[in-house]
């Protein structure tokens, strides 16, 4: 049962019927039962892993809550009797206790993720480079392990930070961890946004069913009509990428960009559509990333829920940690000067050293975060390369930001002009497109060679032997892909320019036009969608994480 199969939609229909038929206060139990059945059907052997994570996080959060409650109680009792020093000492003592609990649960859960994901890679390196004979674990990664681990650990850290009280009911918490639409490829949910919607029981609303259904169809269109066709083409092109000309290699990168975006965002649309039909608004994961005007902006529009998680629970804690802040402050202290520099100077009103002290903590934390993003993508050097590529570009863009501003002023560039914005979008697309080389190459060195090839003179559309390249798709299929991509582009452009959702605009303007287009989308999926024997439509690129 995959997200694009008829079985899945029959399952969703059954869940919808039961969910809306039973009393509101029991509806969360339907979601829990459905989530456990769904997970069991897809990956029964992985069930103990997800149950362990849910149970350990639930118990750890309760423990943290208990320590916090006790501290508050003692504080209140001793309000007038304690001097500030005694209060501070007690606070320090409880913080230490809380840190230990947090560390225990984090190490346990991230430890499982790290061992399952990276043990075999480390063993391979040892065996290859040090002549070891260690045996591999050979365990298949539990379904959705990254997503449910990140989501659970985010919850635990929030409880540690006293953002909310812990959930006392283990079954309700288990629903938050296992909620079936998001288990395959996210989005990673914020507890305070998702959990109340899961627990309260939603009313049956026509708008929710309609918008949810339309979003599912739109996701299926992107996934089955475009992404799955392009996947077939990549299957033909990637094995011969070393024999084909540079022009074709650039085309492969373009095809992969389109496939990855339509695959991942299409899958997320299906997930959010199912959530929508249940009256549950799930996190937005994509905001037209290829309209970004810079790499930092791209990462605020691509895989938004993962990036938000990493920003909250990794980037900020590193960047504002005492050693990082002290490091920055020490540099600034060395360059204290009474002389005020003009704002339009090269380093934005600061000396170079002062500027370094201000930006280095954040820039280094960004570099570390992206290295971790890279390694999260896969246990291999090429994914580390992906992280370094993004991290290094962002590092230098932060470091040199005032210089770029200075240059823009000196060259009198109109930053609000359409031409400049289009240039920024294209420049970002090239940087992102080249970074995907690390995804499709056969190793780190192959990725670097492919990037190098993109910058050497372009040859014709043939192999080095002069024979025609087989793209794996017939002319008509390319017609479908190009038409599909034009539709996706037109919808994205409309959203980008107006800031409105197409579904809401259409329904507000004319309900029947909206239904005709919905029907058109359904027909397009049925006629042009890739499914049936021999087509791996249910597989999503991000499932493997």
Note the residues at the interface with other proteins (CB under 8 A).
157-158, 160-163, 296, 311-313, 315-317, 319-320, 322, 325, 328-329, 332, 343, 348-349, 358-359, 361-362, 365-366, 398
Query: Which CB atom, from 359 or from 450, has the smaller least distance to other proteins?
Result: 359
Contact between 116 and 53 under an 8 Å Cβ cutoff? The reply is: no
Minimum CB separation of residue 73 from other proteins in Å reads 18
DSSP state letter for 346: T
Distance CA 34, CA 26 (A): 13
With both helix axes pointing from N to C terminus, report the angle between 84-130 and 47-77 in degrees, rounded to the nearest 10.
160
Minimum CB separation of residue 161 from other proteins in Å reads 3
Query: Which CB atom, from 349 or from 433, has the smaller least distance to other proteins?
Result: 349
* CA proximity to 35, closest of 199, 183, 192: 183
CA angle at residue 57 from 56 to 60, to 5 degrees? 85
Distance CA 232, CA 438 (A): 20
Minimum CB separation of residue 297 from other proteins in Å reads 9
Query: Which CB atom, from 245 or from 369, has the smaller least distance to other proteins?
Result: 369
Query: Which CB atom, from 105 or from 244, has the smaller least distance to other proteins?
Result: 105
- CA-based torsion, 256, 262, 265, 270: positive or negative: negative
Minimum CB separation of residue 287 from other proteins in Å reads 12
Cis-peptide, bond into residue 371, ω within 30° of zero: no
Minimum CB separation of residue 325 from other proteins in Å reads 5
Query: Which CB atom, from 399 or from 535, has the smaller least distance to other proteins?
Result: 399
Contact between 297 and 428 under an 8 Å Cβ cutoff? The reply is: yes
Query: Which CB atom, from 199 or from 313, has the smaller least distance to other proteins?
Result: 313
Distance CA 189, CA 45 (A): 24
Query: Which CB atom, from 325 or from 445, has the smaller least distance to other proteins?
Result: 325
Alpha carbon separation from 102 to 38, 112, 117, 179 (Å, rounded) = 30, 16, 22, 24
Query: Which CB atom, from 5 or from 72, has the smaller least distance to other proteins?
Result: 72
Minimum CB separation of residue 352 from other proteins in Å reads 16
Distance CA 356, CA 339 (A): 18
Count of CB atoms situated within 10 Å of the CB of 463: 17
SS3 264: helix
Minimum CB separation of residue 202 from other proteins in Å reads 26
Could you tell me which residues are beta bridge partners of residue 463? 244
Query: Which CB atom, from 330 or from 464, has the smaller least distance to other proteins?
Result: 330
Minimum CB separation of residue 362 from other proteins in Å reads 4
Minimum CB separation of residue 382 from other proteins in Å reads 27
Query: Which CB atom, from 279 or from 362, has the smaller least distance to other proteins?
Result: 362
In a 13 Å sphere around the CA of 497, the CA atoms on its Cβ side amount to: 7
Contact between 252 and 274 under an 8 Å Cβ cutoff? The reply is: no
Minimum CB separation of residue 365 from other proteins in Å reads 7
Q: Which residues contact 345 (CB under 8 A, 6 or more apart)?
A: 406
Minimum CB separation of residue 366 from other proteins in Å reads 8
Tell me the CA end-to-end span of the chain in Å, nearest whole number.
Answer: 18
Count of CB atoms situated within 10 Å of the CB of 13: 11
Distance of CA 134 to the CA centre of its chain: 34
Distance CA 320, CA 411 (A): 36
Place of tokens 């930001």: 401
Query: Which CB atom, from 369 or from 492, has the smaller least distance to other proteins?
Result: 369
Q: What are phi and psi of 341, to 5 degrees?
A: -90, 150
Minimum CB separation of residue 100 from other proteins in Å reads 17
* Token pair for 494: 């409309």
Query: Which CB atom, from 398 or from 448, has the smaller least distance to other proteins?
Result: 398
């Amino acid at each position: 049962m995959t997200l694009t199969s008829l079985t899945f939609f029959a399952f969703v229909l059954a869940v919808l019927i039961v969910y809306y038929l039973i009393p509101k206060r029991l509806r969360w139990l339907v979601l829990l039962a459905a989530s456990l059945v769904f997970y069991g059907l897809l990956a029964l052997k992985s069930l103990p892993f997800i149950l362990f994570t849910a149970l350990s996080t639930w118990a750890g959060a309760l423990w943290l809550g208990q320590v916090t409650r006790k501290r508050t109680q003692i504080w209140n009792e001793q309000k007038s009797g304690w001097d500030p020093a005694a209060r501070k000492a007690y606070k320090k003592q409880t913080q230490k206790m809380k840190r230990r609990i947090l560390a225990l649960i984090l190490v346990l859960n991230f430890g499982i993720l790290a061992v399952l994901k990276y043990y075999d890679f480390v063993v391979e390196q040892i065996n290859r480079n040090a002549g070891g004979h260690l045996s591999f674990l050979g365990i298949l990664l539990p379904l959705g392990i990254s997503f449910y681990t990140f989501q659970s650990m985010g919850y635990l850290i929030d409880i540690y930070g006293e953002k909310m009280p812990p959930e006392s009911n283990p079954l309700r918490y288990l629903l938050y961890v296992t909620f079936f639409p998001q288990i395959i490829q996210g989005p990673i949910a914020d507890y305070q946004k998702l959990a109340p919607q899961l627990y309260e029981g939603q009313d049956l609303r026509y708008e929710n069913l309609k918008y949810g259904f339309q979003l599912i169809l739109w996701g299926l269109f992107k996934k089955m009509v475009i992404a799955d066709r392009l996947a077939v083409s990549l299957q033909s092109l990637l094995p011969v990428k070393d024999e084909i000309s540079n022009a074709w290699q650039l085309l492969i990168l373009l095809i992969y960009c389109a496939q990855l975006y339509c695959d991942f965002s299409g899958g997320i649309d299906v997930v959010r559509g199912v959530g929508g039909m249940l009256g549950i608004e799930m996190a937005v994961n994509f905001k037209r990333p290829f309209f970004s005007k810079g790499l930092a902006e791209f990462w605020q529009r691509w895989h938004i829920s993962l990036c938000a998680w990493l920003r909250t629970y990794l980037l900020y804690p590193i960047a504002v940690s005492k050693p990082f802040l002290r490091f920055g402050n020490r540099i600034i202290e060395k360059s204290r000067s009474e002389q005020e520099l003009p704002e339009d100077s090269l380093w934005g009103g600061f000396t170079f050293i002062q500027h370094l002290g201000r930006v280095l903590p954040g820039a280094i934390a960004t570099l570390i975060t992206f290295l971790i993003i890279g390694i999260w993508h896969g246990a291999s050097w090429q994914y580390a390369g992906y992280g370094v590529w993004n991290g290094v570009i962002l590092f230098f863009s932060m470091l040199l930001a005032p210089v770029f501003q200075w240059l823009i002023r000196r060259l009198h560039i109109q930053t609000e002009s359409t031409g400049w914005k289009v240039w920024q979008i294209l420049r970002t697309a090239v940087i992102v497109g080249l970074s995907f080389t690390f995804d499709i190459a056969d190793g780190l060195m192959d990725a670097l060679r492919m990037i190098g090839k993109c910058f050497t003179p372009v040859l014709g559309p043939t192999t080095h032997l002069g024979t025609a390249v087989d793209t794996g798709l017939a002319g008509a299929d390319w017609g479908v892909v190009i038409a599909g991509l034009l539709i996706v582009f037109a919808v994205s452009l409309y959203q980008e320019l107006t800031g409105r959702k197409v579904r809401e605009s259409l329904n507000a303007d004319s309900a029947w036009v909206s239904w005709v287009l919905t029907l058109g989308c359904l027909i397009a999926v049925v006629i042009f969608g890739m499914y049936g024997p021999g087509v791996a439509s249910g597989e999503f690129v991000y499932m493997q994480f």
